[in-house]
Structure 1
Amino acid sequence: MHKIIYLLSFFLCLQVAHAQRTGEIQGIVKDRKTQEYLVGVTIAVEGTQKGVTTDIEGNFKLTLPVGSYNLKATLVGYKPLTKFNINLTTGNAQQVTFELEEETQTLDEVKVVVNRSVSVANIETPNSIQKLTAEEIKNNPGGNFDISRVIGVLPGVGGTAGSVGGFRNDLVIRGGGPNENVFYLDGIEIPVINHFATQGSSGGPTGILNVSFIEDATLSTSSFNARYDNALSSVLQFKQRDGNPNKVEGNVRLSSTEVAATLEGPISQKTTFLASARRSYLQLLFSALDLPIRPSYWDFQYKITHKFNKKTTLNLIGVGAIDDFYFGVPKETDASKEYILRSNPLIKQWNYTVGASLKRLITNGYVNIALSRNMFDNALDRYEDGKSEDPNLRVFNSQSQEIENKFRIDVNQFQGKWEYSYGAVVQYVKYNNDFFNIFSREIRNSAGQIIQPGLKVTFNTDINFFKYGAFGQVSRKFFNEKLSLSAGIRTDMNSFTDDGNKPLETLSPRASISYQFADKWRVNASAGRYFKVPIYTVLGYQEDGRFTNPGNKYIQSDHLVAGLEFIPTPQTRITVEAFNKKYKNYPVTVGRGISLANEGGDFGAIGNERVTSIGTGRSYGVEFFFQQKLTKNIFGVLSYTLFRSEFSGADGKLISSAWDTRNILSAQLGRKFKRGWEMGLKWLSQGGAPFTPFNLAASQANYSLVGRGTLDYSRLNQGRLSNFKRLDFRVDKKWNFKKTTFNLYLDVQNALLFKSPAFPQYTFARNADNTGFQTTDGLSLRRDGSNAVPLILDNNDVSVTPSLGFVWEF
């Protein structure tokens, strides 16, 4: 204790020289349409008399006292743009990029333009779009530097049961499933952004991407640009910054959950790099907190940027992870729950995405060319009573791989007031799976007659095929930019499914309109049709050595969205939107007759069964969003979404989907204080998720085999969990030394110890000494469970995750 007091006193004494410390901002300014560097742009520091102009290559550099600043870029003939909450330290230089949009009015025309410093809409996507900066991601309370958690404060973003309690990163957006989202890193698609992902879905306990690389993240929940394929609910784009071109620098992050190191700098005059590695300590923290999950992982990331000349830039990126996951037995766990935990699967995964993207400036625009490869290896094992040493007790095993090789090209140009883009993508896909699963045993009556047959599935599959698509988009502004119109179209095909080579089957038009009817008001609307290829677990499934699902169609989703945007000040943005999504061709299981949208999210895999494209669905609602950028050292957001999400199975009846939580409320407030102190609070709440009750007879007969209850699909999603709520907080304290910065932080999820509702669990009562199960006749447990003592356990434990750590910048 004395050593800790001496250490804190040492840091506090060093605050005497705090005010004299300075940091550096390095930046570049480009034209949004042409991507050419802009010369002579004025970069002003709001609230001060300081500023600078860009040089012949569009670069600028500012040296300022440490602190938080808003920077405003202005140039005659262009709309002004402000970057908010740039946190300047002595340790690492800040990298800032401005993309200015040309002003089209003449000097004698009246200008009525929404301030683009706070609005993130663009002509192709005027609504349903939000952006988070690097600083908002880093200091998000409860986010713990995890980008997937940070976007939970945005409108329409929820989670699955269990995930919202701080356990998983499933993104359920506007009532759509986690696998309806696509992710792009610097224009290259990355299918997996979380550790321990569910195959055929998404999510996992923590994200993969290093927040130190990210310049900003943009979430679009509708009116997707036609260049993006497979998106039904959202497109999440991560933009990485370049490495420092002037010097080698980096940071080390150490906390109770992980250790991470990042290094960046110049390789040559034209080449920079960013590189990082991270190792988790979550398994140790969760063991200390007496939580059952034990995730252990590594992840790696890099970016290399080479500028051949002013017109040509090459980016090389890579992201990878190695995961090992198992369930431990907490000290306070009773005997019955201990058996449940031992019956959960063992998970070993690894994945990577590597890619190269080339940007070439051309007349009135630019061309992007991207070549990438991604691979996901997923190994799952489950044994009766967790006895992995006995292969005869294995009830589930899946060894699978997904591999994609992608080539993308898109051209972006303008002609007068018209903007247009077009391009194509070709992908070569491989998927293999060695699968074994005992779903249930046969059930016999007292006379020995079979009243329900058992179900065991085994297959080995290996498929490879091509996917390809093309798109075009055109946009124009009218009436002095008050009215914006955009329209796009794309089609996607593949060489595997029966209708895969019919381009008209997936013809997906989309259009949007935006009208500024007053100085601070804009109305936006969009309509579009979007398609997604069936997941690989569905396409690769086999029975008796043959593929059963080639007849499945692309999932279709039609969006209608309309809303208002109000910008009362350059720092404040308020939006209200109504949305309606209708689904068609959703996969429905043949054996159980349920939609995959009602499978929920869990560890493992979904889709390994025979399905047919007969499902329909709908999700509709309204959402409100308020955002206040940094003003007088305060910033915050508030969002609320009211919605319904319903899908049909084989009976055609629409019922609540697994994602139908109906209400989502989130709020975040941040406050910067003097001497390097900062505090943030975040509130998350949402309605209870639906769940399916247990079939008690089938559960009792099968439990000793599969280690879990059997659901009663005749009462699909007729149960509902209690509401979820959570308060997170974060406190940061920075010490700026001459050339380094030390940031000490405390990040706590669920600080008020609310219960985290999750699905109930079925089990058998254990005997007093935990050597076996209780039985009604005192004999050993029968294989059919007929003499067991069934229990249904509520799953409403309190889970709090504190993380104390530091970031050292050098």
Structure 2
Amino acid sequence: MRSIFTSVLLLAVFCASAQTQTIKGVVTDKTSEKPLAGVTVQAAGLTTITDSLGRYTLKNVPLGRQQLAYSYAGYQPALIPEVLVTSGKEVILDLGLEQKYITLDVTVKASPKKGAPLNEFAAGSTTSFNMEDVTRFAGGRNDPSKLVSNYAGVVADNDGRNDIVVRGNSPTGVLWRINGIASPNPNHFSTLGTTGGAVSALNTNALKTSDFLTGAFAPEYGNALAAVFDIELRGGNSSRHEETFQLNLFSGLEATVEGPLNHKDNGAAYLASYRYSFAEIAQSLGINIGTQAVPHYQDWVFHITTGKGRLGRFSFFGMGGLSRIDLIGSKLDSTDFYSQTDQDAYDKSNFSFFGIRHTLDLGQRAYIKTVLSYAHTLDLYDQYQYPDPVPPYKDRWWEVHSGDTTNTFRFSSFVNEKYNSRFSYRAGVSGDVLGLKMLVLDKTGLPPAAPFDTVNSYRGTTFLGQAFAEVRYRLSEDLTFTGGLHGQWYSLNSNTAIEPRVSWAYRLPARQTLTLSYGLHSQLQPTPVYFQTIDIQTGARDPGNRSLGFTRAHHVILGYERRLGADWRVKAEAYYQYLFDVPVEKSSSGFSLLNAGADFTFPPLVGLVNKGSGTNKGVELTLEKFMSHGYYLLLTTSLFDSRYKGSDGVSRNTAFDYKTVVNLLGGREWPLGKHGNAFTVDARLSTVGGRYTTPVNVAQSRAKGFEVLDTLAYDSERLSGYFRLDTKFGIRLNSGHRHFSQTFYLDLQNVTNHKNIFVEQYNHATGNLSSVYQIGFFPDILYRIQL
């Protein structure tokens, strides 16, 4: 591996060139999304003006890091520093400019903020990220979930999955949206009701700048308690055909193609990408990826955009993934993340997602945007048990079958109008028609000849309807109000929710801003919970879970931000969440559904009622230097307390109460020659407090033949903390003769090989507890060619 890296480094000597590249894009009004003609765009001493469609093109831009400046009369200027320009791919930068606040003859100027949300109705607890952010940080595995785990208030201490914990909330509280509409879980090896998986199916080469929200969401976001990924897929290059080929040890081999659909220069373009996993390569090199079994997965994505015509602008998009893994007990050991040595298990999960988005102008100030989508998911799991002891591996019997299939049709439509520079509004409706087929059979702990218990069985259709209205009003040059209402209705049990949301932003001198946000938020329970009909431990039958209502939460957030020059910012937020109507048991116990969601399955309990509660409170600090002058820095610290009450009224730590999280990231670029070649070094240090767990009752587990938790001591034990150091070395090379660039990264994850405990679980084969550890030292490689 060292020889490969050295060879790539030596190529830099022969790649210095005078090659240039093109930067282009579209400039629009940020609120109305209408094109702005006559905007001045400058970079590297070059200047151009946007045309009647808001388009600009800067040709012959030198390679390397460049700064772009946008200026237009009556609008706030924009400055985008450190834009990476390579020889292999044209740079496409679309930008929304915000109109200045104007009262009488006074014009107030404000500088745009890097990292600010794209959605102007989103106030505090929101940040934006782009493709370069996802690929830059060490230890990120080209996964947006891993990227945002570096942000304040976000925790991801599971190396085997990419579930994220936001401010003490369960990972099931995360909403994924793609191109403006809710999407299925975009991860490989996911299961119904979860929002994460073992490997991301989102291809970073297809991502556009997107928003990530961690609390008090704008009124347009519904059915979420913890966070929102508002993902945008980028359009292809509308003037030049380009290709990207990439090999990554974790995400696999991929190819991306893009280009114009016609020769009319009207913005019509296509983008398509396909990836196939090579995790078996890592295993053949003796690298621990969390299991001795070989995972197989592949995914694809496409995005086709049409030119703007009399009927508006259309885009067609889709993505999907296939994944399977066979966990054969004879090939595993007690340290395996996902299975036991006396079991064989076969897991398969597929998803596909297709959508059509249409944008139609309504005069000069308004537009209507409509999205229709169809999603299909399939999750199959079969488990076979061997008699003890093993080996020998003989006479296994079928013990568990789980099969879930969904076919979901979604629609979303909203109207957006910018009345003037002070007032704008947005209002819309959406609906999810969920066709669901579920069957879960289980006889864990029963004799081989015993009949299966039907844990879940449902075939039907449910509907979730949502509506919202929101306004943004600038009361003065320094004070902005954003607020509105969101409503939901669920057809399964006719539960409803009305949710007010408000936010205030006040600008202080010296580039300081104060924000205060409040929101009432509601979320459905994970789908499998509604259709649980039998408790496999007690045998109790009760279909009462179908009457469960929304879990609700009040969010209050106070934020402060100060910009220290163009490159630095300090940000602090204090928050309080009060959760109520949480499902708990009817009888007195310490169970709460707030603790569910960090695993592939949900608690097999029936007859739950919405009478539990919980609180999340904390403070967060961010010190960030954006990429400039060849380096960046990010320090985030989170101190928080996450507690809940079950039906017994006792206050306990939740399973996601890590107490403290500290992330320190940094990186440096050294130019190699004068024309965009560079050597890069990145590092990431993460430390997370230990999580609370419910101990295993070993005696009862031995008696019943499967793991039984000590329900009299919910979350009474705390595991040791999590520590990980990642380093990343890279080379970026530009060809001197044609449009061709290469990137090579060597990402050394957990370089200290620190043993982070994942869980202590009951081992069927030994009859004792076994400690399962996270992934140790893992060298990841990325090689990318763009042409």
Is residue 568–residue 625 contact of structure 2 (8 Å, CA) maintained in 1? yes
1:322 equivalent in structure 2: 322
Q: Secondary structure at the match of 2:681?
A: strand
> Does 1:628 find its partner at 2:625?
yes
> Does 1:212 find its partner at 2:212?
no
- Say which is worse superposed, 647-656 or 72-81, in terms of deviation: 647-656
Q: 1:623 to 1:309 in 2, by over 3 A?
A: same
Q: Please list the CA deviations of residues 661-700 of structure 1 after superposition, one character each: whole Å capped at 9, or x if unmatched.
A: 1111112112111022122111222100111111122111
Q: 1:527 to 1:106 in 2, by over 3 A?
A: closer
> Does 1:297 find its partner at 2:288?
no
2:371 equivalent in structure 1: 370
Q: Please list the CA deviations of residues 274-328 of structure 1 after superposition, one character each: whole Å capped at 9, or x if unmatched.
A: 1011011124413531455232201010100012338821111101010112446
Amino acid at match of 2:425: Y
Is residue 246–residue 785 contact of structure 2 (8 Å, CA) maintained in 1? yes
- Normalised by the length of structure 2, the TM-score is 0.91
Aligned-pair CA distance for 1:12: 3.8
Residue ranges of structure 2 left out of the alignment (5+ in a row): 535-539, 673-677
Candidates 411, 427, 444, aligned match of 1:407: 411
2:30 equivalent in structure 1: 32
Q: 1:476 to 1:311 in 2, by over 3 A?
A: farther
Structure 1: how far apart are the matches of 2:685 and 2:432? Answer: 41
Structure 2: how far apart are the matches of 1:732 and 1:95? Answer: 23
Aligned-pair CA distance for 1:346: 2.6
Candidates 650, 667, 680, aligned match of 2:647: 650
Amino acid at match of 2:722: F
1:783 equivalent in structure 2: none
1:694 equivalent in structure 2: 696
Amino acid at match of 1:432: K
Q: 1:344 to 1:603 in 2, by over 3 A?
A: farther
Is residue 216–residue 520 contact of structure 2 (8 Å, CA) maintained in 1? no
Instruction: Map 1:435-446 to 2 at 5 A.
Output: 435-440=440-445
Is residue 199–residue 606 contact of structure 1 (8 Å, CA) maintained in 2? no
Structure 2: how far apart are the matches of 1:221 and 1:336? Answer: 32
Is residue 396–residue 438 contact of structure 1 (8 Å, CA) maintained in 2? yes
Aligned-pair CA distance for 1:510: 0.8
Aligned-pair CA distance for 1:343: 3.1
1:800 equivalent in structure 2: 777
Candidates 38, 41, 50, aligned match of 1:43: 41
Q: 1:796 to 1:144 in 2, by over 3 A?
A: closer
- Normalised by the length of structure 1, the TM-score is 0.88
Amino acid at match of 2:230: Q
Q: 1:590 to 1:277 in 2, by over 3 A?
A: farther
Q: Secondary structure at the match of 1:20?
A: coil
Is residue 694–residue 710 contact of structure 1 (8 Å, CA) maintained in 2? yes
Query: How many pairs are equivalent?
Result: 759
1:266 equivalent in structure 2: 260
Aligned-pair CA distance for 1:67: 0.7
Is residue 303–residue 317 contact of structure 2 (8 Å, CA) maintained in 1? yes
Q: Secondary structure at the match of 1:673?
A: strand
Q: 1:515 to 1:93 in 2, by over 3 A?
A: same
1:65 equivalent in structure 2: 62
Q: Secondary structure at the match of 1:167?
A: coil
Structure 1: how far apart are the matches of 2:113 and 2:134? Answer: 21
Q: Secondary structure at the match of 1:242?
A: coil
Is residue 286–residue 292 contact of structure 1 (8 Å, CA) maintained in 2? no
Aligned-pair CA distance for 1:366: 1.4
> Does 1:525 find its partner at 2:530?
no
Is residue 185–residue 239 contact of structure 1 (8 Å, CA) maintained in 2? yes
Aligned-pair CA distance for 1:433: 1.0
2:537 equivalent in structure 1: none
Aligned-pair CA distance for 1:254: 1.2
Is residue 725–residue 750 contact of structure 2 (8 Å, CA) maintained in 1? yes
Structure 2: how far apart are the matches of 1:389 and 1:425? Answer: 52
Is residue 86–residue 135 contact of structure 1 (8 Å, CA) maintained in 2? no
Structure 1: how far apart are the matches of 2:696 and 2:412? Answer: 47
Q: Secondary structure at the match of 2:712?
A: helix
Is residue 567–residue 625 contact of structure 2 (8 Å, CA) maintained in 1? yes
Q: 1:303 to 1:541 in 2, by over 3 A?
A: same
- Say which is worse superposed, 357-366 or 377-386, in terms of deviation: 377-386
Amino acid at match of 2:87: T
Candidates 655, 659, 664, aligned match of 2:656: 659
Is residue 121–residue 127 contact of structure 1 (8 Å, CA) maintained in 2? no
Is residue 102–residue 108 contact of structure 2 (8 Å, CA) maintained in 1? yes
Q: Please list the CA deviations of residues 47-102 of structure 1 after superposition, one character each: whole Å capped at 9, or x if unmatched.
A: x4333222222111223121122212111110011223321111111111110001
Amino acid at match of 2:68: L
Aligned-pair CA distance for 1:805: 3.0
2:685 equivalent in structure 1: 683
Q: Please list the CA deviations of residues 216-253 of structure 1 after superposition, one character each: whole Å capped at 9, or x if unmatched.
A: 12111122121111011111111222101112111111
1:489 equivalent in structure 2: 485
2:231 equivalent in structure 1: 238
Q: 1:797 to 1:6 in 2, by over 3 A?
A: closer
Amino acid at match of 1:809: Q
Structure 1: how far apart are the matches of 2:517 and 2:185? Answer: 29
Instruction: Map 1:550-589 to 2 at 5 A.
Output: 550-589=546-585
Q: Secondary structure at the match of 1:274?
A: strand
Aligned-pair CA distance for 1:112: 6.0
Q: 1:234 to 1:5 in 2, by over 3 A?
A: closer
Q: Secondary structure at the match of 1:727?
A: strand
2:675 equivalent in structure 1: none
Structure 1: how far apart are the matches of 2:259 and 2:784? Answer: 18
Is residue 44–residue 73 contact of structure 1 (8 Å, CA) maintained in 2? yes
Is residue 121–residue 129 contact of structure 1 (8 Å, CA) maintained in 2? no
Q: 1:308 to 1:58 in 2, by over 3 A?
A: closer
Q: Secondary structure at the match of 1:116?
A: coil
Q: 1:619 to 1:7 in 2, by over 3 A?
A: closer
Is residue 160–residue 289 contact of structure 2 (8 Å, CA) maintained in 1? no
Structure 2: how far apart are the matches of 1:335 and 1:665? Answer: 27
Aligned-pair CA distance for 1:644: 1.1
Structure 1: how far apart are the matches of 2:240 and 2:349? Answer: 36
1:140 equivalent in structure 2: 137
Amino acid at match of 1:537: P
Structure 1: how far apart are the matches of 2:572 and 2:271? Answer: 39
1:172 equivalent in structure 2: 165
Q: 1:235 to 1:14 in 2, by over 3 A?
A: same
Structure 1: how far apart are the matches of 2:597 and 2:386? Answer: 24
Q: 1:92 to 1:75 in 2, by over 3 A?
A: same
Considering only aligned residues, what root-mean-square deviation do their CA atoms show, in Å? Answer: 2.9
> Does 1:192 find its partner at 2:201?
no
Structure 1: how far apart are the matches of 2:431 and 2:224? Answer: 17
Residue ranges of structure 1 left out of the alignment (5+ in a row): 443-453, 767-789
Is residue 486–residue 499 contact of structure 2 (8 Å, CA) maintained in 1? yes
Structure 2: how far apart are the matches of 1:120 and 1:646? Answer: 30
Is residue 114–residue 567 contact of structure 1 (8 Å, CA) maintained in 2? no
Q: 1:33 to 1:550 in 2, by over 3 A?
A: same
Is residue 114–residue 521 contact of structure 1 (8 Å, CA) maintained in 2? no
> Does 1:11 find its partner at 2:8?
no
> Does 1:356 find its partner at 2:363?
no
Amino acid at match of 1:430: G
Is residue 314–residue 358 contact of structure 2 (8 Å, CA) maintained in 1? yes
Structure 2: how far apart are the matches of 1:123 and 1:298? Answer: 36
Is residue 160–residue 337 contact of structure 2 (8 Å, CA) maintained in 1? no
> Does 1:433 find its partner at 2:438?
yes
Q: Secondary structure at the match of 1:714?
A: coil
Candidates 460, 464, 469, aligned match of 1:472: 469
Q: 1:242 to 1:608 in 2, by over 3 A?
A: farther
Amino acid at match of 1:643: F
Is residue 290–residue 337 contact of structure 2 (8 Å, CA) maintained in 1? no
Aligned-pair CA distance for 1:630: 1.9
Structure 1: how far apart are the matches of 2:230 and 2:435? Answer: 25
